Amino acid sequence: MDTLQLKERVAYHAVDTLFSEGKIFDGMKIGLGTGSTAMPAVHRISQLLSSGKLKNIYSVPTSFQTSIECEKLGIPIYSLSSRQIGGSLDLAIDGADEIDPDKNLIKGGGAALLKEKIIAYNSKEFVVIADDRKKVKSMGKGFALPIEIIPEARLSISKTLEAQGLTIILREGVKKMGPVVTDNGNFIIDVRWLDNAVVDPKALEESLNKITGVVENGFFTKNTPRIFVVDKDGNIEDL
């Protein structure tokens, strides 16, 4: 199977497993993630709705990409602050860019980390689907840590992080000149540590957000997820 087929396999398996366990149910409030692994899960939920097996769900998308896809598929969408949702969710399903042995995550490859985190941290259960290339022993070495920042603070934040020995790259757009602009009107910087650096995701999630002008960073450590991982042969682990 190619990568796209593997992503679809693990996404469908995760949704079907959660449905059979009663964790995807009629009338539920569900957060729907962003990216190439999360999108097949959105499609599978749409199929359950179309078949009548699932009814009357309340979905909160994590990005414009997911909102548009939900509109195309006929999945009803709400904001987290809408009366029907009331600020909390039963379940959120999303992908990840890195997963360490303690189930800490790096997310934000699709530049949607702020809303992804708001939704993940306000869900009773958080489920992540991924292929096994995302499993790492230490974070921030292979995949850079995305940080969403206020544009005006770009230089001051970069200087602060560079003084700590970090490498900073302002993320550039694809088919767009200039920097990536998030759904919230901010910039994304991608941060890397030296190869011999000790990265503590829990401590860094807190400390990075204390820097003036940082909106949010891509460490996800505060709502330990259930993780479905597929290997290159199509075998799926439920972690």
Nearest Cα to Cα of residue 206 among 194, 222, 192:
222
Measured between alpha carbons, how far is 220 from 35 in angstroms, rounded to an integer? 16
Q: Which of 116, 148, 205, 216 is catalytic?
A: 116
Q: Is 116 part of the annotated catalytic residue set?
A: yes
Residue 10: its H or E element? helix 3-20
Report DSSP letters for 190-231, one per residue: EEE--TT----HHHHHHHHTTSTTEEEESEE-SSPPEEEEE-
Strand, coil or helix: what is 187? strand
* 42 CB-side CA count, 13 A: 29
Instruction: Indicate which residues carry an active-site annotation.
Output: 116
